[in-house]
Structure 1
Amino acid sequence: MMAYTGGCQCGKYRYEMDVLKWGHVCHCRMCQRATGGLFAALVGAPKDEFRWTGQAPPVFWSSNLAARAFCPDCGTPLGFTYDRPTSSQYVTIGSLDAPEAVVLEEQFGIESKLPFVEFCENLPKKATGEGQTAEGLAFLAQLKPKQV
């Protein structure tokens, strides 16, 4: 099985994942602030198909439910995961060694999409929580972002 690899710009933190699933861009305000960009481009893998190959990087809890991995040395945002056993580990597509392997499937958080951003307009668009199960909506209802 092929492993997909990636890491931060300075090489201190590296990861590998067995699959690339759920490639998407997220326009939500937490992702905009966490990346310092107009949106976050992310791809995931189930937690049992993802590994930090050395030490795990530190995380910042951007909300009571989401931990965002980053490199404190070079500043690379590496990804995030929700505080749920069934959640996936997501990585920033730009931190992959071969980002061209990702297939983007959707745009999320479109309620915060900036009006001048025209990117992947052919992808399906969802507002935060749209299409979630009742369990998923109950989880998101608990979300308390740390930014003001």
Structure 2
Amino acid sequence: MSREATGGCACGRVRYRVAIDSDEAYLCHCRMCQRATGGVSIAFKNVKKEAVSWEHEPDWYKSSPIAQRPYCGECGTSLGFAFPDSDNMDLTIGSFDDPSCFRPKHHFGAESMHRAWINTEGLPEYRTDQYKPLTDRWIKATGKLPD
């Protein structure tokens, strides 16, 4: 049974609704994704293109001769990946309003995986709302902490 999920870019210009049928997602480590997102990997949810409804159409970047990527031309948020000749596409997990409902089920592009970034268990953890230089900046700029 499918449910509706929503998401969009950092500035709010590009928004989407999508019917999803499971919590399964995956991590892509390929060099194309690393370069396109600036990360060591990117978390994706594979969906049917016809299940995605864009409230404002994203910009599209032809990232290779066989693929294109939706993004926001205003804030730069990476929103996904698509083969033009496929019925499916990927949406970035981080662009969903509630990314916590997804679970990684596999890795892709393992030839470019940076294993030191996969298992970070045991590293110190710091909260943004407890980092005084950051909270001071927010208070100075807006009078409050972000939601």
Please state which band the TM-score falls in when normalised by the shorter chain: 0.7 to 0.9
Find the aligned partners of 1:63 and 1:44 in 2 and give their Cα distance. 19
Q: Which residue of 2 aligns with 1:60?
A: 61
Q: Which residue of 1 aligns with 2:40?
A: 38
Alpha-carbon displacement from aligned partner over 1:45-80 (angstroms, at most 9, x marks no partner): 111211112x21111111111110111111110111
CA contact (8 A) 1:6 1:97 kept: yes
Bigger radius of gyration, 1 or 2? 2
Alpha-carbon displacement from aligned partner over 1:29-57 (angstroms, at most 9, x marks no partner): 0000111001011102111211112x211
Cα RMSD after superposing both structures: 1.7
Q: Which residue of 1 aligns with 2:89?
A: 89
Q: Which has the higher helix share?
A: 2
CA contact (8 A) 2:9 2:72 kept: yes
CA distance 1:37–1:20, change in 2 (3 Å): farther
How does the TM-score come out when normalised to structure 2? 0.74
Find the aligned partners of 2:115 and 2:81 in 1 and give their Cα distance. 25
The ranges of structure 1 where at least 4 consecutive aligned residues each deviate by more than 6 angstroms after the TM superposition are none
SS in 1 for 2:76: coil
Find the aligned partners of 1:66 and 1:9 in 2 and give their Cα distance. 23
Structure 2 gap ranges (5+): 121-147
Structure 1 gap ranges (5+): 121-148
Amino acid at match of 1:42: F
Q: Which residue of 2 aligns with 1:136?
A: none
CA contact (8 A) 2:3 2:21 kept: no
Find the aligned partners of 1:119 and 1:52 in 2 and give their Cα distance. 35
Deviation at 1:20, TM superposition (A): 5.1
Q: Which residue of 2 aligns with 1:111?
A: 111
Alpha-carbon displacement from aligned partner over 1:73-97 (angstroms, at most 9, x marks no partner): 11110111111143x1211100000
CA contact (8 A) 2:30 2:109 kept: yes
How does the TM-score come out when normalised to structure 1? 0.74
User: What is the identity percentage for the equivalent residue pairs of Structure 1 and Structure 2?
Assistant: 38
Q: Which residue of 1 aligns with 2:133?
A: none
CA contact (8 A) 1:28 1:109 kept: yes
Find the aligned partners of 2:115 and 2:10 in 1 and give their Cα distance. 30
Matches within 5 A, 1:14-33: 14-19=15-20, 22-33=24-35
Find the aligned partners of 1:26 and 1:85 in 2 and give their Cα distance. 18
